[in-house]
Structure 1
Amino acid sequence: MASVLEAQKMDEEWVIELKRLEDYSSTMVDRQVKKRSIYKVPPHVTNLNKNAYRPQVVSFGPYHHGEKHLMPMEEHKHRALFHFLKRTNMALQIIVDNLTKVVQDLKDSYDLLGDVWQLDTRRFLKLMVLDGCFMLEVLYYYTGTPLANPVNYAPNDLIFSAHGRLHVMPYIRRDMLLLENQLPMLVLTELVGAMDRENTQSWGAEEVVKTLIGRFTNTICPVIGECLHVLGTFRNGVLWSSPKEKREGPIALYDERQITLSAMELQDAGISFKIRKFGFPDEISFKDKVLCLPVLVVDDTTESMFLNLIAFERLHVGTGNGVTSYIFFMGAIINNVRDVRLLKSNGIIETAIGSEEVIVELFKSLSKGTKLEPGSNPDVAHTEIREYRRKPWNQFRANFIHAYHTSTQWNPWAYWSIIFAILLFTLTLVQTAYTISPYYRPNK
């Protein structure tokens, strides 16, 4: 009897514990989905290219703060804070007080924020103020945005000068687009709202910050949708949208070994390439044997930029997969240097780095572990291309041209030889027809 009562008591305690865990889990999920937007990239992702996720010259936020190679920039941050306060005529205490009101929201923006920052609110606020003001100085100075009561930096300033624009700014811009190196948008909007009341009253602080980031990152398109930080704002500007509605249709499970869409194979099948003007990465389309692709400029920062955008889409639930699907598609059609040359000749790829081999390796690296999002534009284009290639004549044409290219190794005289062969074969048929026609149509 006692054992039965003990079992009932254990069951009741278990139900209570499960209920508590349910309430706790729902609260935690709600916080993570609604507030967290800045993540530590998991080791299984960073192991492929650790340097792509690490800042080179400046840290923003807590994740890389204090790293030895980034310490020289701390002095410049303090000088920028001095200029910021002098230009805006703001007291430092006012800034601290404004951010104190939202400090918990700022902390909640970070995933895996260590105890040293969670427990020491004063230190965390100091970091937000110092890094936030420096980031705003960078945005205002390098976008040429007029400022009230301007305070000029010295001509020989290492950061805010012509010298800094040429030699330092490209590295700062790169570091501002790293997922682990972000500041919550709330920091920037609170600072802008306090310092630029005239513009924020008519536009709103967030719109002012979006405009600054758009100019700074050369995303000339309007930024739509929720902006969580500089990287998220940049992504929205690149895609020119909030997450799009998926097209209706069956969800396919892909065998990656069957996805052979190299650019040269597509051309052999009779498909031509066209630049999509004002196109965005996820706006890939296929119609009337024409594959429309947006222009891609490849430079030294391309790999880091795309890897961090892919990591953000992977870790932040609900943000969409436009960039990831685009990289998957491009990785599929770029298999060798001939594919790169073909895309360059059509103006789809513009490069500021080395050889075609470098670009091939770049897309092999970028597309590792990526997937096509079912219903996305690249997915729809891929499906339509596969349907086109299944038609018997298109298969014959592609196989014939591919085999002939392989055997002739791109000898230009081979094209003339096949033309003469076809012409000779045609003349032979005509001659044969004239020879045998009297037997079937004798003169009366």
Structure 2
Amino acid sequence: MQKLRIKYKERLTELYVREERIRPEICIYRVPEKLRKLKEDAYNPRAVSIGPFHRGKSSLAPMEHHKLLYTASFLGSFIASSEATEKYMDSYMEHPIAPIHVDWPVNKCYNEEIKCEEGRDKLTELLQDGCFILQLFLSFAQLIKDSSDEYESDPLINNAWMIRDLWHDLALLENQIPFFVLEILYDIVKPCVMKMNNGKAPESVSSLALNFFKPMLSQNSNIVEHSYPDCKHLLDLLHKSSLLAVSGDTAFTVYDVRDRRSTMALNHAAAANLSPGNQYWGLKYCAEELVQSGIELRKESGDSLVNITTTSDRQLIINIPPLFIDEVRDSLFRNLIAYEQSSIKISHHVTSYVILMKSLVRSPRDVKLLRKKGIISQYWIEDQEYLSCFVSFLDEVFPRDFYFSSLCGQVDAYANKFWFRRKMSALYRTYFSTAWSMTSFIAAICLFILTVLQTYFTINPR
């Protein structure tokens, strides 16, 4: 560990001072209490603590042993790759850089002062968390690749329940370490990873992380291959992956920001373009009413959950990627929304998506309709539970921008134009929804006709 500490300090100093690639800023927050009290379990780790906010909790103590084992395995890779990094060490000795205080860039990323318990070393704990995460990602990638018997006895990656808990824990806003820590550590062991895989290795930490989270995200492999610049931490990476560049009427893009100073300006400019004036905040009509108006709701396969688009031929079609909600994804949505609420520099796309879906799904009939279309899946969650999710997601949430304003305006205008279709559908549902009501209506019409005829012939006898 001592050798890794030295190597980490050297690499951090080089990136921060010489290359200026690390510019720490606040990006890891405590979840606001008003959100936490709504569903506390969604924001607390179940198995492992990462970073300082939940360290030392007795409920997470059993995982500390596994963290040490994974750290030892990672250090073994580092030792094996030490020969491959001798050239870098020689280069560093030829061009020494004044060392910086290694805690400062990390402390700058948290929105409160980080204190370490007496007798514990902050850097060692940080590196241990980073080593654990990377070794977990590497082991999972190797297991997926060749299903080696080597991992059959691994109590973490060979345990489906544990993997779900790790998905949950590593995507928590309060359970993060700066992304540059993972990048530095991966750069150190990458030569060994390449050697073990015949000269091939995942290109970046982003690829490793998204490969680990991909089963949870229910998205295709394009998210792993895409480039995500300037990630702050793992949750930020998941936020960026949800905004994967797509085509269509709502042109969402990942902001490929090379100059960090322009990030906020780009986000506000994008918000202005996508939702001018924020005139619409959700749909006026629910899913059932839209279908009654002649609008088709169609399942759309894609890389991004927020890739909701419209197409128009003879009728308006809303293309919606399939939605899958379980306990882990429920937590992910809540933490992404909490992240958007906490930071002033990131877009509110996930919050906008939930607002749109909440306006689309207002009753169990809407849920059933979307299930039938294949847009909502997973039948073990009841219809009412889906409704409750979308309502509770937005409790105590105050979005800055709504990114589907243009789409909602287009859909509402179409539905208003064909209002009579909804009226006819309501009439049919009220009076002709069953065979008995249809029979009664026909009988009433026949009786009315006979009554008219009888009256006519009474007034005008032959």
TM-score scaled by length of structure 1: 0.74
Larger radius of gyration: 1
**Number of the residue aligned with 2:277:** 251
**Number of the residue aligned with 1:79:** 69
Cα-to-partner distance string for 1:264-299 (whole Å, 9 max, x where unaligned): 111111111112221522222234321111111222
Alpha carbons of 1:399 and 1:102: their partners in 2 closer, same or farther (altered >3 Å)? farther
Q: Is residue 2:167 matched to residue 1:170?
A: no
Q: Which amino acid aligns with 2:51?
A: G
**Number of the residue aligned with 1:286:** 310
Distance in 2 between residues matched to 1:416 and 1:369, nearest whole Å: 50
Distance in 1 between residues matched to 2:35 and 2:391, nearest whole Å: 15
Query: Is the 8 Å Cα contact of residues 61 and 182 (structure 1) preserved in structure 2?
Result: yes
For residues 15-26 of structure 1, the aligned pairs below 5 Å read none
Alpha carbons of 1:155 and 1:217: their partners in 2 closer, same or farther (altered >3 Å)? closer
Alpha carbons of 1:287 and 1:253: their partners in 2 closer, same or farther (altered >3 Å)? same
Q: How many residues align?
A: 375
Alpha carbons of 1:358 and 1:415: their partners in 2 closer, same or farther (altered >3 Å)? farther
Distance in 2 between residues matched to 1:158 and 1:351, nearest whole Å: 28
Residue 45 of structure 2: SS of its match in structure 1? coil
Q: Is residue 2:156 matched to residue 1:159?
A: yes
Cα-to-partner distance string for 1:230-281 (whole Å, 9 max, x where unaligned): 111122122214247342664035688xx54311111111111112221522
Gaps of 5+ in 1: 1-32, 429-444
**Number of the residue aligned with 1:349:** 376
Distance in 1 between residues matched to 2:440 and 2:132, nearest whole Å: 67
Query: Is the 8 Å Cα contact of residues 334 and 360 (structure 1) preserved in structure 2?
Result: yes
Moved more, 294-303 or 351-360: 351-360
Q: CA deviation at 1:325?
A: 0.5
Residue identity (%) = 25
Q: Which amino acid aligns with 1:158?
A: P
Alpha carbons of 1:159 and 1:412: their partners in 2 closer, same or farther (altered >3 Å)? farther
Moved more, 107-116 or 127-136: 107-116
Query: Is the 8 Å Cα contact of residues 70 and 131 (structure 2) preserved in structure 1?
Result: yes
**Number of the residue aligned with 2:13:** none
For residues 30-429 of structure 1, the aligned pairs below 5 Å read 35-89=25-79, 102-116=102-116, 123-144=121-142, 155-160=152-157, 162=158, 164=159, 166-197=160-191, 207-218=203-214, 220=221, 221=223, 222-240=226-244, 241-243=253-255, 245-246=270-271, 247=273, 250-252=276-278, 260-288=284-312, 289-351=316-378, 353-370=380-397, 374=401, 376=403, 378-391=404-417, 394-406=418-430, 410-411=433-434
RMSD between aligned residues = 3.8
Query: Is the 8 Å Cα contact of residues 299 and 352 (structure 1) preserved in structure 2?
Result: no
Q: Which amino acid aligns with 1:342?
A: L
Cα-to-partner distance string for 1:44-92 (whole Å, 9 max, x where unaligned): 1111111110011111000001111111101111111111112331699
Greater RCO, CA 8 A, separation 6+: 2
Moved more, 367-376 or 306-315: 367-376
TM-score scaled by length of structure 2: 0.71
Gaps of 5+ in 2: 1-22, 93-98, 245-252, 256-266, 450-462
Q: CA deviation at 1:351?
A: 1.3
Residue 350 of structure 2: SS of its match in structure 1? helix
Query: Is the 8 Å Cα contact of residues 281 and 402 (structure 2) preserved in structure 1?
Result: no
Alpha carbons of 1:299 and 1:180: their partners in 2 closer, same or farther (altered >3 Å)? same
Distance in 1 between residues matched to 2:304 and 2:436, nearest whole Å: 40
Residue 292 of structure 1: SS of its match in structure 2? strand
Alpha carbons of 1:51 and 1:78: their partners in 2 closer, same or farther (altered >3 Å)? same
Moved more, 209-218 or 245-254: 245-254
Cα-to-partner distance string for 1:153-207 (whole Å, 9 max, x where unaligned): 67433224x3x2x231111111101110011111111111111137799x9x995
